[in-house]
């Protein structure tokens, strides 16, 4: 049997759904194929047979608001997406009982840090935050549309920021640890900044992670956002948007082959069906799986195959483990009122997280793993019975353990270590009423990403911007006629932003002649970027 539509899209992670929704709203017939039983990929809220609810995947979703994708697609105004907004956006509990609070307000955060770490260190953080905010304002302009090359970014930074532009470029190439050590004195304060940089699953001591160290400090000024009902609220809204525009979602349909006719990507085989694409095939899975797994290499240019084989996903041997549980009571957080609602990063210190990644590289579980902690049940009822709570834990583990492979015993050992680490940081023993462990192999079963990497491929400096996922595949189009890329493996990378999906849809629509960039748009975009950079210069120099 076969079905025909204008566009066949492989993968219903949030970027695949975003891309499909934009294309469908432009008037194309779109079919989105998903291998799993439900859409969302790394966004995964699950109802348990007990009636409880666990949040297995990504937690915070402010990025899809900040990127403008939620507004573009009317996810809140028309398709039912609602957010819990919090001024308490982060809490960093340390093993010595110190708890570092971060609010939407930079002034309030600095006042609290002054009480805990001293006024001198708090003012260092204020200066670093202002510099980071200005720097990220410049970098943020590069995330919309096809990515810039490092050369063009450096030229623009040099033109608009002068000496501060060079400092910004240096931060991009530097290890996160070098950036934070130069800016801050207290190792406990460096911990959450380095931990935030490690969200990319790159060791914070690795070159090219410096920009990640700026993210947390640049986050003041807007509230944290989490979907009502759990992260699946974002997925459900995207599906409603797609289907309302005439698009179709097919789950339990793992793509087996992309077929070519006359050198053009013409159809996708999934199960017993052939999904024919009149105009385009779009892959929201990583380029390695697409070209090396779903396509006949003999039909591809040898240079393209060689380039794809150089794309890497786990050079540092880093993967992910989740522990989710219903607990008999909520812990008392050692911090200001309301911090139990915050997203928590507990690296303990910058030194500890660097040591943890060194252990991961050799296949060992860290002595003190960096742990992310959240309690979704603090924001709304319905997650667990009255009086109980739900805890969300995430940490990094080796993709290839020193014993060679993951098994149930290692999964339980790693989960127990994660649990004990969270208890020590919180200063509270948690009793699990119901628990679920999701290790690297379980994540691969869910979304198929190599190395269980939520970013599809590594976000190392050689695979960012105009090199993501590789030099000749970085603009969302490919050398194969009618074949396009989107997803976390394309610019600007991972996170719940929807930007890769939106950017890819713009390239596809322009390629198909459905929409064209308005005359002068590129020049106006460059002028706008320069104006933003010039405004930022004042802050950069002020806080140098």
Domain of 192, in residue numbers: 110-218+523-542
pLDDT tens profile 158-185 = 766 677 778 888 888 899 999 999 999 9
- Is residue 49 a part of any domain in this protein? no
Q: What is the pLDDT of residue 525?
A: 45
Mark whether 505 and 532 lie in a shared domain. no
Residues 329 and 389 in one domain: yes
Q: Is residue 410 part of a domain?
A: yes
Across residues 292-313, what is the average pLDDT? 96
The confidence score (pLDDT) of residue 230 equals: 95
Residue 148 lies in a domain: yes
pLDDT in tens, 440-462: 999 999 999 999 999 999 999 99
Domain tally, the chain: 3
Residue 78's CB is within 10 A of a number of other CB atoms, namely 12
> Do 72 and 180 fall into the same domain?
no
Predicted local distance difference test score (pLDDT) of residue 414? 98
Dist. CA 95–CA 84, nearest whole Å: 29
The pLDDT of residue 1? 65
Do 273 and 329 sit in the same domain of this protein?
no
> Does pTM top 0.75 for this prediction?
yes
Shared-domain flag, residues 439 and 326: yes
Write the CATH number for 512: 3.50.50.60
144: tokens are 């919309």
Q: Residue holding tokens 């500890």?
A: 352
Q: Rounded to whole angstroms, how far apart are CA atoms 348 and 331?
A: 18
Backbone angles phi, psi at 248, to 5 degrees: -130, 135
CA dist 31 and 25 (Å) reads 13
H/E stretch holding 187 reads helix 187-197
Q: What is the pLDDT of residues 425-438, one digit of tens each?
A: 999 999 999 999 99
Mean pLDDT of 470-498: 96
- Count the residues in the chain: 544
Give phi and psi for 9, each to the nearest 5. -115, 130
Question: 265 with 367, same domain?
Answer: no
Integer Cα distance of 156 and 142 in angstroms: 11
C-alpha distance from residue 79 to each of 269, 459, 496 (Å): 31, 32, 18
Residues 233, 200 share a domain: no
One domain, residues 401 and 442: yes
- Which structure tokens are listed for 78? 């028309």
Count of Cβ atoms closer than 10 Å to residue 276 Cβ? 17
């Amino acid at each position: 049997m076969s079905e025909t539509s204008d566009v066949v899209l492989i993968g219903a992670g949030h970027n695949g759904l975003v891309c499909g929704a934009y294309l469908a709203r432009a008037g194309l017939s779109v079919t989105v194929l998903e291998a799993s039983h439900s859409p969302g990929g790394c966004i995964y809220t699950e109802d348990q047979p007990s009636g409880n609810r666990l949040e297995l995947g990504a937690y915070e979703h402010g990025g899809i608001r900040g990127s403008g994708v939620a507004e573009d697609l009317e996810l809140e105004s028309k398709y039912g997406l609602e957010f819990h907004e919090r001024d308490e956006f982060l809490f960093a509990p340390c093993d010595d009982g110190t708890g570092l609070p971060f609010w939407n307000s930079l002034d309030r955060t600095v006042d609290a840090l002054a009480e805990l770490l001293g006024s001198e260190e708090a003012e260092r953080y204020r200066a670093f935050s202002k510099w980071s905010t200005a720097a990220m304002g410049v970098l943020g302009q590069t995330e919309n549309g096809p990515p810039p090359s490092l050369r063009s970014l450096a030229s623009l930074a040099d033109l608009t920021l002068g000496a501060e532009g060079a400092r910004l470029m240096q931060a991009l190439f530097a290890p996160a640890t070098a950036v934070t050590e130069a800016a801050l004195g207290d190792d406990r304060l460096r911990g959450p900044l380095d931990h935030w940089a490690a969200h990319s699953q790159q060791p914070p001591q690795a070159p090219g992670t410096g920009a990640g160290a700026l993210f947390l400090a640049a986050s003041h000024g807007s509230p944290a956002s989490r979907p009502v009902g759990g992260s699946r609220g974002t997925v459900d809204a995207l599906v409603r948007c797609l289907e309302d525009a005439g698009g179709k979602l097919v789950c339990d349909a793992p793509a087996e082959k992309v077929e070519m006719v006359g050198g053009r990507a013409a159809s996708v085989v999934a199960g017993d069906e052939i999904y024919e694409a009149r105009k385009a095939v779009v892959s929201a899975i990583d380029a390695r799986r697409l070209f090396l797994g779903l396509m006949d290499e003999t039909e591809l240019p040898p240079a393209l195959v060689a380039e794809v084989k150089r794309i890497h996903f786990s050079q540092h041997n880093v993967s992910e483990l989740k522990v989710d549980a219903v607990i008999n009571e909520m812990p008392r957080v050692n911090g200001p009122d309301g911090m139990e609602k915050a997203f928590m990063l507990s690296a303990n210190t910058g030194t500890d997280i660097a040591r943890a990644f060194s252990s991961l590289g050799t296949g060992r579980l860290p002595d003190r793993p960096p742990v992310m902690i959240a309690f979704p049940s603090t924001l709304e009822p319905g997650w667990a019975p009255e009086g109980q709570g739900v805890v969300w834990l995430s940490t990094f583990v080796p993709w290839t353990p020193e014993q060679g492979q993951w098994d149930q015993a290692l999964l339980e050992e790693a989960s127990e270590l994660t649990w004990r680490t969270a208890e020590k940081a919180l200063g509270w023993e948690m009793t699990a009423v119901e628990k679920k462990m999701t290790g690297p192999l379980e994540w691969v079963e869910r979304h198929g990403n190599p190395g269980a990497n939520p970013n599809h491929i590594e976000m190392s400096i050689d695979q960012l911007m105009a090199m993501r996922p590789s030099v000749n595949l970085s603009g969302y189009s490919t050398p194969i006629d009618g074949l396009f890329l989107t997803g976390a493996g394309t610019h600007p990378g991972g996170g719940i932003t929807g930007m890769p999906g939106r950017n890819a849809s713009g390239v596809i629509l322009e390629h198909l002649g459905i929409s064209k960039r308005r005359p002068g748009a590129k020049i106006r975009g460059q002028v706008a970027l320069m104006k933003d950079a010039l405004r930022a210069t004042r802050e950069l120099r002020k806080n140098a």
